[in-house]
């Protein structure tokens, strides 16, 4: 087997671990001859756990694409645009294979990059961009190639899952657990992409495009994060035998959403805790496949990068999104208001006669049927927390009810609304 020379752009924890693995005998067990030839990062003098002896250094990552002696560019800089996109585009135009963990770039520019890779007859692989150490993309592209996928469900962000898991286990408030996640390195100083659902939405867009043979569309994903989840919601969910998870759901020809949901405790995905990820694929004829594992971190992500490099070295590659770009369909445009679900509703209301009948009258007018209800008194004696779950209804109806209730003089503060996913919905 001919030697394949590698250039790595970005030497953070994942880039450094990837370099360490390339310089170790580990990958040789797979019968490949991968040679780390050059690297690029911000600071040449940082200690990254490996020696730069015999490895060329570039201050400007874009220079890697111009080298004739590099066969594969590994892009681990991050960011949807900027130097990362310039490097990958230039590398593909130069006829070089590209491996990346950059889900934001793929979510926003994946179709154009796939066209470019196809034109140049090179590979563009990004297993490390989705679910860390879980081979989710290989599962869909290769293992389930003979199947017709109908639905993909996943816990796709380890930071949010850690926060919700800790809130569930300890009863602590969101802000306290977020601070702990930052201290432990699970969350960035600015955790917005994680806790607002953007990171998970990038990954869901990729999974949907690959699973359903579509042009990737980040804009098609409805996105809602976990900032507003209160420890009270965690507790009430438990009383109804549910657990709250940030869930990504994509249906063939249907909605794509990332949102916190109440998931029945009878389903396995409700018990994926900590920084773990999970991907559940429904398809015919295989029926259903569940995978779980570490969704981030140096080891799991570098493992996925190496897996892509080994596939390229062995010529085990396929079209970027499973089929040629001219066969990819447009992603469906579906309003979130058309979502049909059971819903959880929590509100603080005045503790006086007639309030409950006023609430049920509003719900009845919008054809919303209540399945169950809880009421809890507050330290302030004139208010109570009212929690209810509904039967199946549309988000459009729920939002109309929410707007009307918010204007009522007997409701105090914000009204929390979350979708409910029962075990039979996840099969």
Which residues are designated catalytic?
203
CA distances to 100, 128, 133, 166, 194 from 301, rounded to whole Å, are: 10, 5, 6, 23, 17
DSSP for 107-145?
HHHHHHHHHHHHHHT--EE-GGGSSTTS-HHHIIIIITT
State the Cα–Cα distance between residues 18 and 6, nearest whole angstrom: 11
**DSSP structure class, residue 81:** S
Interatomic CA distance for residues 80 and 202, integer angstroms: 10
State the Cα–Cα distance between residues 307 and 309, nearest whole angstrom. 5
Q: Is 350 exposed, middle or buried (0-12, 13-18, 19+ CB in 10 A)?
A: middle
CA–CA distance, 174 with 330 (Å, rounded to integer): 38
Backbone angles phi, psi at 272, to 5 degrees: -85, 105
- Do the Cβ atoms of 277 and 161 come closer than 8 Å? yes
Spatial distance between the Cα atoms of 190 and 181, rounded to a whole number of angstroms: 12
For residue 121, count other CB atoms closer than 10 A to its CB.
Answer: 7
CA distance 283 to 278: 16
User: 159, exposed or middle or buried, with CB in 10 Å at 0-12, 13-18, 19+?
Assistant: buried
Q: How many CB atoms lie within 10 A of CB 14?
A: 25
350 CA to centre of own chain:
39
The alpha-helical segments, DSSP class H, found in 334-380 are 355-365
Given a contact cutoff of 8 angstroms between Cβ atoms, the answer to whether 134 and 279 are in contact is yes
Hey, how many other C-beta atoms are within 10 angstroms of the C-beta on 226? 24
Tally of helices (H runs) and strands (E runs) in the chain: 12, 17
Q: How many CB atoms lie within 10 A of CB 334?
A: 16
């Amino acid at each position: 087997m001919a030697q394949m020379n590698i250039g790595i752009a970005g030497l953070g924890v994942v880039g450094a671990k990837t370099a360490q693995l390339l310089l170790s005998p580990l990958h040789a067990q797979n019968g490949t001859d991968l040679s780390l030839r050059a690297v690029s990062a911000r600071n040449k003098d940082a200690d990254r756990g490996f020696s730069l002896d015999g490895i060329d250094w570039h201050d400007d990552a874009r220079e890697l694409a111009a080298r004739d002696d590099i066969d594969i560019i590994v892009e681990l800089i991050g960011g949807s645009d900027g130097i990362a996109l310039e490097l990958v585009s230039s590398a593909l135009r130069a006829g070089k294979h590209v491996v990346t963990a950059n889900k934001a770039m793929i979510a926003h520019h994946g179709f154009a990059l796939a066209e470019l890779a196809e034109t140049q007859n090179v590979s563009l692989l990004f297993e490390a961009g989705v679910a860390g150490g879980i081979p989710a993309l290989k599962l869909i592209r290769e293992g389930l190639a003979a199947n017709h996928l109908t639905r993909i469900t996943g816990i796709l962000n380890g930071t949010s899952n850690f926060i919700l898991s800790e809130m569930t286990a300890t009863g602590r408030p969101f802000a306290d657990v977020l601070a702990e996640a930052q201290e432990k390195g699970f969350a960035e100083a600015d955790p917005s992409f994680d806790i607002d659902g953007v990171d998970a939405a990038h990954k869901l867009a990729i999974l949907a495009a690959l699973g359903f043979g579509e042009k990737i569309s980040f804009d098609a994903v409805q996105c809602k994060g976990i900032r507003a989840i209160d420890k009270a919601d965690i507790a009430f969910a438990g009383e109804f035998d549910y657990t709250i998870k940030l869930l990504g759901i994509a249906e063939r020809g249907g909605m794509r959403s990332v949102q916190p949901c109440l998931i029945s405790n009878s389903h396995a995905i409700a018990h994926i805790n900590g920084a773990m990820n999970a991907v559940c694929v429904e398809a015919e004829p295989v029926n259903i496949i569940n995978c779980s594992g570490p969704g981030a971190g140096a080891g799991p992500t570098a493992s996925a990068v190496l897996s892509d490099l080994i596939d390229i070295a062995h010529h085990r590659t396929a079209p970027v999104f499973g089929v040629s770009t001219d066969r990819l369909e447009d992603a469906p445009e579906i309003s979130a208001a058309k979502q049909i679900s059971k819903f959880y509703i929590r509100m603080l209301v005045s503790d006086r006669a007639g309030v409950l009948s006023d609430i049920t009258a509003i719900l009845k007018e919008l054809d919303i049927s209540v399945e169950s209800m809880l009421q809890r008194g507050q330290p302030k004696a004139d208010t109570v927390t009212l929690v209810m779950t509904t039967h199946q209804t549309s988000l459009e109806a729920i939002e109309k009810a929410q707007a009307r209730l918010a204007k009522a003089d007997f409701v105090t503060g914000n009204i929390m609304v979350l979708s409910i996913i029962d075990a039979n919905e996840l099969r």
